[in-house]
């Protein structure tokens, strides 16, 4: 699981660099800027809620207990959700086959990392099953 999560991380990072390289991540559109601002706000809220815990390229559950406050009260993966929202908005503003493929890679690698993390969290924190049963993965009341 950890190896797959590292691959997912590398694919996400490479795809983000690819979107920047082909100039398909940012847009002067007020709509895109607004959506991307919301995504950055969600990332910031999630990181502040998560606290001083470090980020790992591998899906390593951190010490300190399961975080279920802040955005984690509504969705289990707010950072992946925000990254997907951010890149989808940019890609939608620059529709091209390369941009769409890179966006799909980000979504797929985010989903792979989510599954890896969830499996590892279930092992580390037995209460994760109950939390997961009552919290959406990415979109409240939908998914």
Residue-wise pLDDT for 60-92, tens only, equals 666 777 889 999 999 999 999 999 999 999 999
| More confident: 43 or 60 | 43
Helix (H, G, I), strand (E, B) or coil at 1: coil
Beta bridge partners of 75: 136
- Would you say residue 103 has pLDDT above 70? yes
CA distances to 3, 46, 103, 111, 114 from 15, in Å: 18, 22, 7, 14, 17
pLDDT at position 24: 95
pLDDT at position 112: 92
- Would you say residue 2 has pLDDT above 90? no
Mean pLDDT of the chain: 90
Using left for φ > 0, alpha for ψ between -120 and 50, and beta otherwise, residue 65 falls in left
Residue with tokens 């980020």: 55
97-124 vs 2-21: helix crossing angle, rounded to 10: 150
pTM of the model: 0.89
Confidence of residue 106 (pLDDT cuts 50, 70, 90): very high
């Amino acid at each position: 699981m950890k190896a797959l999560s590292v691959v997912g991380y590398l694919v996400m990072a490479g795809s983000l660099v690819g979107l920047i390289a082909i100039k398909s991540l940012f847009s002067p559109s007020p709509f895109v800027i607004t959506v991307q601002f919301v995504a950055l706000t969600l990332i910031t809220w999630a990181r502040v809620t998560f606290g001083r815990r470090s980020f790992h390229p591998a899906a390593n559950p951190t010490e300190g207990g399961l975080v279920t406050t802040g955005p984690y009260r509504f969705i289990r993966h707010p950072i992946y959700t925000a990254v997907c929202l951010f890149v989808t908005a940019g890609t939608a503003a620059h529709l091209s086959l390369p941009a769409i493929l890179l966006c799909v890679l980000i979504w797929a690698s985010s989903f792979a990392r989510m599954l890896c993390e969830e499996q590892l969290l279930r092992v580390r924190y037995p209460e994760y099953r109950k939390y997961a049963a009552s919290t959406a993965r990415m979109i409240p009341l939908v998914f």
